Amino acid sequence: MEMKKLKVLCLHGFRQNKDTFKQKLGFLRKMLKSHADFVFVDAPHTLNASSNDEVEEKSWWFTGENQTYISKIPSEIAEGFNDSVESIQRFVKDNEPFDGLLGFSQGAAFAGILALLLERKEFEADFKFVILVAGFKSLCKPHLNYYNLK
């Protein structure tokens, strides 16, 4: 009996987009093609001052003015974060079911927070697993309470 392939939602890192992330995961996709389908989605925020004119650079949120994002410095803001949660919630509802969530860098930090929101029943999805690659705990003040499940 053939097993059903897993459907995995993939969240790219800062200054990437779904196409660049899909390309970077080419080897993994090829290795797992008989086991999983990977679905890639763009973050809703486009950087205006892109360092690469050929690639549309995206972000899940910003930590400072002028579309800046620095993961290692605490920030009072997480500009655009709520829009990203709403965007992913719509995408999941329109394309479900998903078995898992995979995030890279800022996308991993975002996926980690989405998993915490799932625990709190503040996000709706039926993810059975989450894979975080090169992730980190967000130092944005608005995110800190997500890490306290008590």
pLDDT by residue (tens digit) across 87-118? 999 999 999 999 999 999 999 999 999 999 99
Please tell me the CATH code under which domain 6-147 is placed. Answer: 3.40.50.1820
pLDDT band at 3 (very low <50, low <70, confident <90, very high): confident
User: What are the residue boundaries of the structural domains of the chain, listed by start?
Assistant: 6-147
Enter the pTM of the model.
0.94
pLDDT by residue (tens digit) across 31-77? 999 999 999 999 999 998 656 667 899 999 999 988 999 999 999 99
DSSP 8-54: EEEE--TTB-HHHHHHHTHHHHHHTTTTEEEEEE--SEE-SS-S-TT
